[in-house]
């Protein structure tokens, strides 16, 4: 049975995929708001609110919310990204109505009077989360590469915010943001598993139909990329290195070619970077590539951790691999292996209710009308070697951003943004 979509007249889109042979259902409420929609003075506010909605509503205390989550079984949680916020649950299908009631309450009746004590408690939790990330080299270098690539744009800001900002966010500002960005904003209700679409639509209309939906201000347009360099010297055993080239946006029709390029270059044991950096030279335990795609921009990233004494050699090898792909593309057998890996990943991931729920929501949030996985599989199959070569030539011809955390970085790395050799 194909996935279904219903657009309701109060700013809510309901999408669902009924999956035979399962007893559970994954349900998510997705809001088009994240750290990209913040300012330096409010950075971290969406993530703060994501925490606070579980700390009480006008009809439920924090203890009552926690107890109901346990009674539902499965579990419920939330997360914030650069571009959206999601509240989600995975339950037995018989509890789907109750899960929808709980999530709807969190986004329509949250931050009630008397929640000030909970705000201060959760502020301490979030400050601990921020400091923990700053103490973790992998997390820190991820934030630094965003700064190096996006400069002063909101996409460079961390989702969790900074200690300085989170310490100053007051309840009045939190409530305003909650009302504007959750309680009255457009949203996507996505579900996958054992369900009835019409019942889900009716339940959504019952619980969310009374909201006064208003249009959200547009996010700042993606900036022209001016890659830079961010280095933090730390007394560590290894240097955590991240390189970032321009990528493709979530709406770019070349997304399949970009995924196949990433797999061939650095995703798997047979990828070029793994063979050259680990197998042939023993420079790093792990090295991998990843794609980050936003609505109107994206990046192609390379990450690894190496001993300080091997940093210069590893850096040179990485640049050589990227330059080779830029100049000559990838071989036919590499392309076919990448296609098989990507197809398997898409199909196996689609067997899980949570992954299918997220897939449907992502399609709607990115403006895609077709909700069927077959469209993506056909896109993967249709990619040819020339398309991958042309994309690599475009992405790897631009200057790259650089970030590193560790000891003795400066002497082994370029002093500013750089281009690949040749």
| pLDDT tens figures, 72-113 | 988 899 999 999 999 999 999 999 999 999 999 999 999 999
Assess whether pLDDT exceeds 80 at residue 218: no
Is residue 396 predicted with pLDDT exceeding 80?
Answer: yes
| pLDDT score for 91 | 97
- Band of pLDDT at residue 226, cut at 50, 70 and 90: confident
Share of the chain above pLDDT 70, in %: 100
Q: Tell me what the mean pLDDT of segment 392-401 comes to.
A: 96
Distance CA 151, CA 223 (A): 9
Q: Where are the beta strands (DSSP E) in 41-125?
A: 75-80, 85-92
pLDDT of residue 76: 93
Pairwise CA distance, residues 201 & 191, whole Å: 11
The SS3 assignment for 12 reads strand
Q: What is the DSSP string of 198-256?
A: HHHHHHHHHHHTT----PPPPPPPPPPP---EEEEE---SSEEEEEEEE---TT-TTHH
Structural domains of the chain sorted by starting position, each given as residue range(s) with its CATH number in brackets: 4-208 (3.30.830.10), 229-412 (3.30.830.10)
User: What pLDDT was estimated at residue 216?
Assistant: 75
Reading the block at residue 234, the tokens are 């730390």
CB atoms under 10 Å from CB of 3, counted, come to 19
pLDDT tens-digit series, residues 172-192: 999 999 999 999 999 999 999
Average pLDDT over residues 132-159: 97
410-415 average pLDDT score: 84
Tell me how far the alpha carbon of residue 346 is from its chain's centroid: 17
pLDDT at 193: 98
Place 279 in a pLDDT band, splitting at 50, 70 and 90.
very high
pLDDT tens figures, 257-273: 999 999 999 999 999 99
pLDDT tops 90 at residue 220: no
Helices 171-178/116-135 angle, 10° precision: 90
Per the listing, tokens 């959750």 go with 182
| Residue 21 DSSP code | T
CA distance linking residue 221 with residue 202, whole number of Å: 36
Structure tokens at 60: 């439920």
φ, ψ of residue 306 in degrees (nearest 5)? -135, 160
Query: Among residues 201, 192, 202, which one has the least CA distance to residue 1?
Result: 192
The pLDDT, as a whole number, for residue 422 is: 78
As a whole-number percent, the residues of the chain with pLDDT over 90 amount to: 91
Q: Residue 79's closest CA among 135, 31, 146, 134?
A: 31
Q: Would you say residue 246 has pLDDT above 90?
A: yes
Helix (H, G, I), strand (E, B) or coil at 130: helix
pLDDT at 215 over 80: no
Q: Which residues contact 411 (CB under 8 A, 6 or more apart)?
A: 312
User: What is the rounded CA–CA span in Å between residue 152 and residue 400?
Assistant: 17
Alpha-carbon distance of 257 to 260, in angstroms, equals 5
Residue 416 has pLDDT above 90, yes or no: no
Q: Which residues contact 63 (CB under 8 A, 6 or more apart)?
A: none
Model confidence band, residue 387 (pLDDT cutoffs 50, 70, 90)? very high
Report residue 278's pLDDT band, with 50, 70 and 90 as the boundaries: very high
Q: Which of 125, 121, 115, 117 shows the shortest CA–CA distance to 57?
A: 115
- What gap in Å lies between CA 320 and CA 224, rounded to an integer? 26
Query: What residues have CB less than 8 Å from 108, skipping those under 6 apart?
Result: 183, 207, 208, 210, 211
Kindly report the number of other CB atoms within 10 A of residue 231's CB atom. 18
Q: Using one digit for the tens of pLDDT, what is the confidence trace for 309-366? A: 999 999 999 999 999 999 999 999 999 999 999 999 999 999 999 999 999 999 999 9
- What is the distance between the alpha carbons of residues 417 and 422, in angstroms, rounded to a whole number? 16
Q: How far is CA 1 from the centre of its chain?
A: 28
Residue 22 has pLDDT above 80, yes or no: yes
Average pLDDT score, the chain: 95
Catalytic residue among 23, 38, 41, 50: 50
Q: What is the mean pLDDT of residues 50-64?
A: 96
38 an active-site residue?
Answer: no
Element (H, E) at 183: none
């Amino acid at each position: 049975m194909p996935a279904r979509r219903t657009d309701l007249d109060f700013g809510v889109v309901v999408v669902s995929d009924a999956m035979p042979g399962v007893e559970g259902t994954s349900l998510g409420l997705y809001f088009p708001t994240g750290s990209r929609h913040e300012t330096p003075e409010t950075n971290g506010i969406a993530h703060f609110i994501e925490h606070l909605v579980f700390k009480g509503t006008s009809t439920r205390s924090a203890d009552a919310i926690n107890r109901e989550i346990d009674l539902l079984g499965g579990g419920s949680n939330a997360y914030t990204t650069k571009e959206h916020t999601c509240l989600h649950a995975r339950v037995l299908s018989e509890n789907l109505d109750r899960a929808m009631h709980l999530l709807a309450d969190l986004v329509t009746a949250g931050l009630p009077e008397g929640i000030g004590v909970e705000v201060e408690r959760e502020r301490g939790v979030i400050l601990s989360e921020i400091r923990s990330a700053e103490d973790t080299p992998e997390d820190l270098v991820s934030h630094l590469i965003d700064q190096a690539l996006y400069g002063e744009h909101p996409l460079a800001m961390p989702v969790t915010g900074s200690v300085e900002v989170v310490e100053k966010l007051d309840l009045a500002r939190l409530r305003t943001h909650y009302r504007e960005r959750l309680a009255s904003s457009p949203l996507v209700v996505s579900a996958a598993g054992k369900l009835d679409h019409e019942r889900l639509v009716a339940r959504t209309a019952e619980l969310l139909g009374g909201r006064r939906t208003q249009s959200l201000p547009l996010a700042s347009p993606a900036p022209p990329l001016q890659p830079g360099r961010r280095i933090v010297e730390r007394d560590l055993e290894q240097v955590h290195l991240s390189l970032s080239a321009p990528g493709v946006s979530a709406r770019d029709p070349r997304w399949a070619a970009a995924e196949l390029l990433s797999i061939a270059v650095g995703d798997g044991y047979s990828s070029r970077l793994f063979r050259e950096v680990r197998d042939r030279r023993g420079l790093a335990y792990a090295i991998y590539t990843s794609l980050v795609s936003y609505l109107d921009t994206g990046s192609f990233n390379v990450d690894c951790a190496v001993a300080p004494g091997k940093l210069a050699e590893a850096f040179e090898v990485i640049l050589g691999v990227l330059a080779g792909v830029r100049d000559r593309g990838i071989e036919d057998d590499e392309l076919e292996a990448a296609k098989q890996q990507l197809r398997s990943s898409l199909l196996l991931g689609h067997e899980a209710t949570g992954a299918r729920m997220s897939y449907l929501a992502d399609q709607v949030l990115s403006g895609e009308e077709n909700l069927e996985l077959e469209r993506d599989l056909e896109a993967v199959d249709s990619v040819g070697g020339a398309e991958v070569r042309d994309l690599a030539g475009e992405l790897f011809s631009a200057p790259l951003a650089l970030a590193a955390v560790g000891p003795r970085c400066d002497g082994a790395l370029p002093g500013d943004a750089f281009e690949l050799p040749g």
